[in-house]
């Protein structure tokens, strides 16, 4: 971790004002509107954010799907979050940095955030397919030190072809897996992926509804 890396955060009290939850929250619009209101998001040093639970680092968590299968991988030793090394994941994403040119006091901040998500994903994997992007849930887990300082925004990318290859060395064992195959290895997953896996039926149903 670069000591001076700046990451996007919101104050925990902003989440508390809308209602604290554990796991997935599907009332997306209400929370996203509050999180991205002008003046609410800000940048701070990651070294500070990692040890200050009064702030939540905003993490896009992109689940990719094609033909009833979901992209999965194992975090290798070069993973940026060392506490997650060796765990299986179904989420691609990472911290949002100032280099993403986010206008924190611009009414179009959320649209700019979505563009930043595309760049964050492109840093980790190469997606050689067209896709639709849908924010399907918020994700929170205060039961462990990693979760206490992070808040996930769960995106679901529906791909028109299963053409994804790794760009980052920390991504290993990359493949598309069925729901049954994922459930068989649930115990090896990071907590956020376990929570997403448990909610995939609901996520799938929501994807079938009009946006």
Q: What CATH number does residue 88 fall under?
A: 3.90.79.10
Of 93, 102, 74, residue with least CA distance to 188: 74
Helix (H) or strand (E) holding 119: helix 109-124
Residue 41 lies inside a defined structural domain of this protein: yes
> Across residues 99-128, what is the average pLDDT?
76
Bridging pattern class, strands 6-11 and 55-66: antiparallel
Contact criterion met (CB below 8 Å) for 77 and 85: yes
pLDDT in tens, 37-59: 988 998 899 999 999 999 999 99
Average pLDDT rounded to a whole number, residues 73-80: 68
The C-alpha atoms of residue 66 and residue 77 are separated, in whole angstroms, by 28
Contact 96, 113 (CB under 8 A): yes
- Find the mean pLDDT for residues 119-127: 93
In a domain, 182, yes or no: yes
> Nearest-5° angle of CA 182, CA 186, CA 188?
115
pLDDT of residue 4: 77
Per-residue model confidence (pLDDT) at position 32: 93
> What is the spatial distance between Cα 39 and Cα 173, in angstroms, rounded to a whole number?
40
1 domain-assigned: no
Q: In which element (H, E) is residue 24 found?
A: strand 23-25
pLDDT for residue 112? 72
Q: Does 193 have pLDDT greater than 90?
A: yes
Residue 107's pLDDT band (cuts 50, 70, 90): low
Phi first, then psi, for residue 63 (nearest 5°) are -95, 125
Alpha carbon distance 33, 36 (integer Å): 6
d(CA 209, CA 50): 37
pLDDT band at 83 (very low <50, low <70, confident <90, very high): low
**What contacts 24+ positions apart, CB below 8 Å, involve 203-210?**
203/63, 203/136, 203/137, 203/154, 203/156, 206/26, 206/134, 206/136, 207/134, 207/136, 207/156, 207/158
- Average pLDDT estimate for 78-105: 69
pLDDT (mean) for 167-174: 90
Place of tokens 């689940």: 63
Residue bearing tokens 């994941």: 89
Q: Which domain holds residue 188?
A: 6-207
* Number of independent structural domains in the chain: 1
């Amino acid at each position: 971790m670069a000591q001076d890396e700046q990451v996007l955060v919101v104050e925990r009290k902003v989440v508390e004002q809308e209602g604290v939850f554990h796991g997935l929250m599907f009332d997306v619009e209400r929370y996203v509107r509050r999180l991205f209101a002008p003046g609410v998001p800000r940048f701070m040093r990651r070294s500070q954010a990692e040890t200050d639970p009064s702030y939540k680092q905003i993490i896009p968590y992109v689940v990719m799907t094609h033909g009833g299968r979901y992209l999965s991988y194992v975090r290798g030793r070069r993973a940026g979050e060392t506490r997650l090394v060796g765990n299986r994941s179904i989420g691609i994403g990472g911290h949002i940095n100032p280099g993403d040119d986010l206008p924190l006091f611009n009414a179009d901040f959320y649209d700019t955030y979505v563009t930043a998500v595309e760049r964050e994903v492109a840093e980790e994997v190469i997606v050689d397919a067209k896709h639709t992007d849908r924010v399907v849930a918020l994700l929170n887990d205060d039961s462990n030190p990693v979760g206490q300082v992070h808040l996930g925004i769960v995106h679901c990318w529906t791909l028109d072809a299963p053409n994804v290859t790794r760009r980052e060395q920390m991504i290993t064992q990359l493949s598309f897996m069925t729901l049954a195959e994922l459930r068989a290895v649930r115990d090896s997953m990071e907590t956020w992926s376990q929570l997403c896996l448990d909610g995939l039926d609901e996520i799938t149903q929501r994807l079938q509804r009009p946006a």
